[in-house]
A and B are shown apart, each in its own frame.
Chain A
């Protein structure tokens, strides 16, 4: 057990800081997107981004090191430098391709996904297949050298701005429901695809419905074999970020919550001075730190080839519960402002309370998307606790 930042880490922090001082923010006023892309390229070259991904596919291929990852996170955050592209392509598809993709697929898709050039949407849920995802009905049939796709997907985040989609489709209607599914890649910019944005309770429209009317994709744009799609979709990348993402989110929001408590009034004084609010903050911090150190333990054990037990299966539910606790405390701190929300406000124009009223609603997404909390509980009960199936 050694979490110390030894001298080599001090040197590493200085190296990261020196890199950032020289590279971010950019000096000239050129195209912002091009600057970000160039910065990511440089940062990856130095080993600061995409650390779990092989160099040949555009990653930096660094050994898992939680402290280095934490130092990078802290230093990048300090100067608001861009980190890895935030997209399901990076978060899910790349790991899947590394494990199950063919060589040409890896070469064609991974580097440009990491650079942000290829932006992906995920096509999993359907109106009739949410928690029971394996009952999905969108069909793909092989016609000549193409898959022809018909059906409908829903809750596909940012599909309106995506170039490609990875999509689960039924290719064998006769097979048992988990066995007849395939994992296809698809160009969204074609006449057979229609996309409709869905307005959410926050006023934003990130989620989309995607309709396929004889949409096409080449036969070799399949990951894994036909019928293996269910298994392929469960593969994810195990590296330092795999346990870190949830706690990064929780830590950042917790720090904002503390800032909010310093500005907000409670009982006629700054909320941060109220014993009741201080105790509530510490309760939440107990959960955040439990997540952090259990995550450290898990990542260390996985790197050492040991079995960390059931924590991995708990992370999503645990993170969703923390979000709920933070949202509820934020709601108390917001006071009368909880009744107000300017839907036209921008990230920049939002005041402290607006951000928390937004978070109060948007944090519910964590408990719903990507396997709702009740589905997580089913999985924990069955796979981690070994309870009998219903």
Chain B
């Protein structure tokens, strides 16, 4: 028994970090944000060539055949870099389709998702923060009519996995008849989102077990918790580095005990989240009895820490942190998305409580 990363897992994180450090420097991120970009096709191609689009897809369909832990480890790197890529929704759509018991259905969709030739998204939310499978109301017959909200990178996606009443799932071709995509004025411009309006849209039911939606939803919680840890640890690093160079009263501000203690508290909140998100992801792969509890607790806990850390870290930069040109707000806004997407901390603390055995 051990709670360690394998050499392959470390190598994957390092390789991803290298590409992202090169391609998601401050200048590129600001350019993407200011252009209100939906997709950096060159970066997408680069990551897809590394196999990142198909981390969780079975090898038989051209993927790497890895688990939720590996998706989460990659997600940590995306969060750290604030990477403007549609991988979260793409991974989860592939995760859902991968649970199909229909070989032909998997063969139809997964190879293109694994290679990144097609981009997928997921459409779970409905108005009123209805995120969980048991809360979905969209009726699914042969065709769909209605609205699903907050689909990541909807404008560039080719297909969506849509959540239906009763926790069922369906694949929808977003280029098909009757689909209208309404781009949202999202706060986090590194991960644009859209609402999907369906008017008599053809759909293909996923031939998946009854708990498939729940499993994909829980995997999503672990993956977002990982993104939140990556982002929060970046916020901590930025605040610490700034304290080492910024001078006031004739000295580095990192020498003042008030700020040193605030930064120590920040580290104390952020670093323990790593073990939390590791276990949240691990439970999806290897501990089904704890999967729902661990996923919701990780999402609530790490998501909440991220929001607090991003605010505090920005504050410790002073006025410069409040400017558009500086980087702090990029992570603050990712923290705001991570907090709310798939349901906020309040909702997931209560969901965790309901699965805690109390």
Q: Shortest distance in angstroms between B146's beta carbon and chain A's nearest beta carbon?
A: 30
Given A279-B349, A380-B264, A297 and B244 touching (CB < 8 A)? Answer: no
Q: Does A306 reach chain B (CB closer than 8 Å)?
A: yes
Find chain A residues with CB under 8 A from B5 CB. 1
Q: A282 and B243: CB pair below 8 A?
A: no
9-residue interface stretch from B25-33, B115-123, B179-187, B252-260: B252-260
Residues of chain A in range 335-390 having any CB-CB distance to chain B below 8 Å: 374, 376-378, 380-382, 384-390
Interface size band for B? 35 or more
**Considering the chains assembled together, what is the distance between the CA atoms of A376 and B267 in angstroms?**
12
Q: Does B248 reach chain A (CB closer than 8 Å)?
A: no
Q: A377 and B353: CB pair below 8 A?
A: no
Given A281-B353, A387-B243, A388-B252, A293 and B1 touching (CB < 8 A)? Answer: no
Q: Shortest distance in angstroms between A298's beta carbon and chain B's nearest beta carbon?
A: 8
Q: A289 and B276: CB pair below 8 A?
A: yes
Q: Does B37 reach chain A (CB closer than 8 Å)?
A: no
Q: B297 and A282: CB pair below 8 A?
A: yes
Find chain A residues with CB under 8 A from B189 CB. none
Residues of chain B in range 6-58 having any CB-CB distance to chain A below 8 Å: 6, 9
Find chain B residues with CB under 8 A from A380 CB. 264, 267-268
Q: B3 and A297: CB pair below 8 A?
A: yes
Q: Shortest distance in angstroms between B75's beta carbon and chain A's nearest beta carbon?
A: 15
Q: Which residue of A lies closest to B285 (CB)?
A: A1
Chain A's interface: helix, strand, loop or mixed, by majority? helix
Find chain B residues with CB under 8 A from A303 CB. 2
Given A4-B286, A378-B257, A380-B268, A285 and B3 touching (CB < 8 A)? Answer: no
Q: Does B278 reach chain A (CB closer than 8 Å)?
A: yes
Residues of chain A in range 299-321 having any CB-CB distance to chain B below 8 Å: 299-301, 303-304, 306, 309-311, 314, 317-318, 321
Find chain A residues with CB under 8 A from B329 CB. none
Choose among B254, B301, B349, B353 the residue that contacts A387 (Cβ–Cβ < 8 A): B254
**Considering the chains assembled together, what is the distance between the CA atoms of A388 and B250 in angstroms?**
14
Find chain B residues with CB under 8 A from A2 CB. 1-2, 286
**Considering the chains assembled together, what is the distance between the CA atoms of A100 and B139 in angstroms?**
72
Q: Does B352 reach chain A (CB closer than 8 Å)?
A: yes
Q: A384 and B261: CB pair below 8 A?
A: no
Q: Does A97 reach chain B (CB closer than 8 Å)?
A: no
Q: Does B274 reach chain A (CB closer than 8 Å)?
A: yes
Q: B352 and A387: CB pair below 8 A?
A: no
Q: A385 and B267: CB pair below 8 A?
A: yes
Q: B274 and A297: CB pair below 8 A?
A: yes
Given A380-B267, A380-B268, A293 and B3 touching (CB < 8 A)? Answer: yes
Q: Which residue of B lies closest to A4 (CB)?
A: B286
Q: B356 and A314: CB pair below 8 A?
A: no
Q: A279 and B353: CB pair below 8 A?
A: yes
Q: B4 and A306: CB pair below 8 A?
A: yes
Find chain A residues with CB under 8 A from B346 CB. 279
Q: Shortest distance in angstroms between A381's beta carbon and chain B's nearest beta carbon?
A: 4
Q: B352 and A285: CB pair below 8 A?
A: yes
Q: Does B101 reach chain A (CB closer than 8 Å)?
A: no
Interface size band for A? 35 or more
Choose among B275, B349, B352, B356 the residue that contacts A290 (Cβ–Cβ < 8 A): B275
Q: B286 and A387: CB pair below 8 A?
A: no
Q: Shortest distance in angstroms between B235's beta carbon and chain A's nearest beta carbon?
A: 13
**Considering the chains assembled together, what is the distance between the CA atoms of A234 and B255 in angstroms?**
25
Q: Which residue of B lies closest to A301 (CB)?
A: B4
Q: A388 and B244: CB pair below 8 A?
A: yes
**Considering the chains assembled together, what is the distance between the CA atoms of A310 and B222 in angstroms?**
23
The residue among A292, A382, A388 with the most chain B CB atoms within 10 A of its own CB is A388
**Considering the chains assembled together, what is the distance between the CA atoms of A386 and B255 in angstroms?**
10
Q: Shortest distance in angstroms between A72's beta carbon and chain B's nearest beta carbon?
A: 14
Find chain B residues with CB under 8 A from A292 CB. 275
Q: Does B271 reach chain A (CB closer than 8 Å)?
A: yes
Q: Shortest distance in angstroms between A175's beta carbon and chain B's nearest beta carbon?
A: 27
Q: B297 and A285: CB pair below 8 A?
A: yes
Q: B276 and A290: CB pair below 8 A?
A: yes
Find chain B residues with CB under 8 A from A374 CB. 261
Q: B4 and A297: CB pair below 8 A?
A: yes
Q: Does A3 reach chain B (CB closer than 8 Å)?
A: yes
Q: Shortest distance in angstroms between A187's beta carbon and chain B's nearest beta carbon?
A: 40
Q: Shortest distance in angstroms between A104's beta carbon and chain B's nearest beta carbon?
A: 38
Choose among B256, B263, B272, B304 the residue that contacts A294 (Cβ–Cβ < 8 A): B272
Q: Does A283 reach chain B (CB closer than 8 Å)?
A: yes
Q: Which residue of B lies closest to A262 (CB)?
A: B358
Q: Does A275 reach chain B (CB closer than 8 Å)?
A: yes
Q: A386 and B268: CB pair below 8 A?
A: no
Find chain B residues with CB under 8 A from A318 CB. 268, 272
Q: Shortest distance in angstroms between B216's beta carbon and chain A's nearest beta carbon?
A: 21
Q: Which residue of A lies closest to B273 (CB)?
A: A290
Q: A287 and B301: CB pair below 8 A?
A: yes
Q: Shortest distance in angstroms between A380's beta carbon and chain B's nearest beta carbon?
A: 4
Q: Does B134 reach chain A (CB closer than 8 Å)?
A: no
Q: Does A26 reach chain B (CB closer than 8 Å)?
A: no
Given A278-B358, A279-B350, A380-B267, A1 and B252 touching (CB < 8 A)? Answer: no
Q: Shortest distance in angstroms between B32's beta carbon and chain A's nearest beta carbon?
A: 30
Q: Shortest distance in angstroms between B221's beta carbon and chain A's nearest beta carbon?
A: 13
Given A385-B263, A387-B254, A291 and B272 touching (CB < 8 A)? Answer: yes
Q: Does B265 reach chain A (CB closer than 8 Å)?
A: yes
Q: B3 and A387: CB pair below 8 A?
A: no
Q: Does A65 reach chain B (CB closer than 8 Å)?
A: yes
Q: Which residue of B lies closest to A377 (CB)?
A: B264
Mark each residue of chain A from 1 to 45: 1 if its CB lies under 8 Å from any CB of chain B, else 0.
Answer: 111101001000000000000000000000000000000000000
Find chain A residues with CB under 8 A from B350 CB. 275, 278-279, 282
Find chain A residues with CB under 8 A from B69 CB. 1
**Considering the chains assembled together, what is the distance between the CA atoms of A3 and B6 in angstroms?**
14
User: Please, could you name 16 A-B residue pairs with CB atoms under 8 Å apart, sorted by A?
Assistant: A3-B282, A279-B350, A282-B300, A282-B352, A285-B297, A285-B356, A290-B301, A297-B275, A300-B4, A309-B271, A377-B265, A381-B261, A384-B267, A385-B264, A387-B240, A387-B263
> Apart from A286-B349, A289-B294, A303-B2, what 18 extra A-B contacts exist at CB < 8 Å?
A2-B286, A3-B1, A4-B287, A261-B358, A278-B354, A281-B356, A286-B297, A289-B297, A290-B275, A294-B271, A295-B275, A300-B3, A306-B4, A310-B271, A311-B271, A314-B267, A318-B268, A381-B261
